[in-house]
Chains A and B, each alone.
Chain A
């Protein structure tokens, strides 16, 4: 039995959704700028995507098809529970198909399949302030953003190279948006950074930190780097053991106590689609046999 009748559509009341939409519009008008908003208590703990959930709730309509992924996968706890949450509170259609979805809420990944105009990608953000670990004073970081004083961001990259010989930051890699604001892309792997210049709308919600920011379609997103240490979108140097893809971001899976490992696509929909098309990796079996 659906219980949607007992909640307002998508859980939040209409006034709250209006407040969030206003923040989203402001965010879209000033790409990369962190807009404060009155984040609500949600029926899930902070760190489980309360920011993303509120943004999704403010965007959902009854006609939407929702996809939720966590680290690229549709079937992990966080993804499953958020999907169920909206099924119950908004009664919206859900899908695992990236192309079919109208709104995708994600934690830590951008889908491999290129997104199209009309789609919305909602990110769950733990710490929206890219300067936080270098300058703990929020008053000061806000001033640095407003005055475009971003030298400190490069100090972090400098420290990386000094310590590791290369820029070792591999996720939450800072970007400069439309030549103005430096932004934390949430903890996506830096492999995903180039994908942020996309046709879909990207919305970022940080629930505990009460900040929303956004990228309109086709916004310039440049990963910070040094002339002599240019940005590189890196991934494990393997191909997917199941579908054989060499262009997707891979998870390393330990398969026994001897340390045997395999690499598989972190984007489960992408992997399944390829396998359905007949692609087979080194350790994979054709999809039909597997099902049989």
Chain B
């Protein structure tokens, strides 16, 4: 099987400080990988480097493009990378305000990616928008409301619909359940799991919530001070952590 993403020795420095260092891994189609670590461990820096939102200081991010096969997204031209960002990639931000247009209706938010890749039939665009709102459990009669009138959980689901409407193959998620009530989180996780399976999505999820990765991720990467300290199957890393930091992380979770 061809990997979807092959990350080789990604480095990012902020002056003399390490953002992330020597990160390498391979992601196969359909795999969901979690990246955990405390604040400042470099997990968001890494995610932004992978998603083309931040330029790494070294290393390659090879992506299996539809047209040309494996291609380094760090060195490809900006228009090409931005095109990937609208088609094969999706990015779900922690704060839905960063990923939504708050002044545009829910339907317009979902339709934007379609229009960005050339859809020019209003009826079709709207039909797809309504279909996607339904898939993320937003009622059809909210299609013309602006996201500012939505609850936090609804905004996050709208952001997911907006991202998935063009059928991406790789989804980057930065703390997708952060800032949500626990009950809303559960609903979102369930939804994400269903979508990942139905669409055969690959995903990279950054979070500090171990419960989230246990439910969503097949594999886990643990980061500390910009370095990857442990990788493996999610349940193996959580149930039989090998590295001192992972052991500390796992033992620090409050039991309910």
Contacts and interface: CB of A to CB of B under 8 A. Distances in A.
Contact present between A and B (CB < 8 A): yes
B120 A154 contact: yes
A227 B120 CA distance: 6
Interface string B113-150: 11111001111011000000000000000011000000
B149 to A, nearest CB: 14
Contacts of A40: none
A158 B122 CA distance: 7
B115 A158 contact: yes
Interface stretch (A74-82, A159-167, A212-220, A234-242): A159-167
B125 A163 contact: no
B187 interface: no
B116 A158 contact: no
Q: Looking at A155, A161, A229, which has the most chain B CB atoms within 10 Å of its CB? A: A155
B105 A162 contact: yes
A288 to B, nearest CB: 52
B59 interface: no
B191 interface: no
B117 A228 contact: no
Contacts of B120: 154, 225-227
B116 A159 contact: no
Interface in B76-124: 78-79, 82, 86, 101, 104-105, 107-108, 111-117, 120-123
Interface stretch (A49-57, A105-113, A145-153, A255-263): A145-153
Contacts of B123: 228
A93 interface: no
Range, interface on chain B: 20 to 34
A27 B111 CA distance: 33
Contacts of B143: 162
A233 interface: no
A147 B79 contact: yes
B113 A151 contact: yes
A151 B115 contact: yes
Range, interface on chain A: 10 to 19
Contacts of A161: 122
B122 A228 contact: yes
B166 to A, nearest CB: 11
B86 to A, nearest CB: 8
B136 to A, nearest CB: 18
B108 A155 contact: yes
Contacts of B112: 151-152, 155
Nearest to B112: A155
B108 A159 contact: yes
Contact of B116 (A134, A149, A227, A228): A149
Q: Looking at B82, B115, B144, which has the most chain A CB atoms within 10 Å of its CB? A: B115
A162 B113 contact: no
A30 B114 CA distance: 28
Nearest to B121: A227
Nearest to A227: B121
A169 B117 CA distance: 23
Given A152-B116, A155-B101, A162 B121 contact: no
Contacts of A151: 86, 112-117
Interface in A116-160: 134, 147, 149, 151-152, 154-155, 158-159
28 contacts: A147-B78, A149-B82, A149-B86, A151-B112, A151-B113, A151-B114, A151-B117, A152-B112, A154-B115, A154-B120, A155-B104, A155-B108, A155-B112, A158-B108, A158-B126, A159-B104, A159-B108, A161-B122, A162-B107, A162-B126, A162-B143, A163-B144, A225-B120, A226-B120, A226-B121, A227-B121, A228-B121, A229-B122
Interface of A: 134, 147, 149, 151-152, 154-155, 158-159, 161-163, 225-229
